[in-house]
Structure 1
Amino acid sequence: MSGLISNYKILKEYSLILEYHAGILDFESFIKFVQKKTSDPQFSLDLNHLIDFRDVTFNITEDEISKTVIFLTKELLTKGEKRNIAVLTSTPKQVVSTTLYNIKQQESNSLITLEIFSTSKRALEWLNTKGLSINEIIAIKESLKS
């Protein structure tokens, strides 16, 4: 895998954004993705997120994680309503990078609660998205892979 492939779908009716990422995640490619997503007219600071990082190789340093939090704090983490982010991971490095990010974003007085999961089913239960089935989530995530 090379580069970063990042796609998302906004599901306003469920107050949810689904994200799928694959490839090499580095600081610049992730920031570009965030800028693209937040410029979408349907984007809202009040939406929960289900982020799938299971097909990602993190190529980001602790310093770059700190820079990411600083960048996101200016516009996203401390504005809007309280919201939840469920992150899907499958490797120890993904868990470590996501945990480090979570610790740093909590230090910024973030309005976001972030939890790490290994299955879509458990993440969806935690997000409490009533009316959205695991099969629908899987179908949407598959469509985001292409």
Structure 2
Amino acid sequence: MDFHPAGSRPTRTAPPEYFTGTVLQDPIIATSSPARLVVNSVSFQPGARTAWHTHPLGQTLYVLAGLGRIQTKGEPIREIRPGDVVWIPPGEKHWHGASPTNGMTHLAMQEALDGNTATWMEKVTDEEYSVKIG
């Protein structure tokens, strides 16, 4: 058993090369092999977002609070709200983050393949992010 009491792992600032704006990550679990689950609680300030990226084994997002946005490359931006669950299949290029005026927190759950959970790409431009929804 691997037990982590509440508050025993510090909140970290997300790396600026993969995120735009202020994003905080709270580690939930990163299992040891042969298990491969990695889960973080990720909090985005208004306007903050990930860069475009993919996951080798897919990703599940569970929105905990706020109002966010998510987009698969070539598809419209969608709003995400508390209680929404999003499955992103392996290899699907996408981004996610807060809305322009509201913060958003979600659980990000993915599995590692050979130690890798994501392939990071170019940042989402302000023009891409600011497309009107609906």
Question: Is the pair's TM-score, using the shorter chain for normalization, greater than 0.5?
Answer: no
Looking at secondary structure, tell me which structure has more strand per residue. 2
Scaled by the length of structure 1, what TM-score is found? 0.28
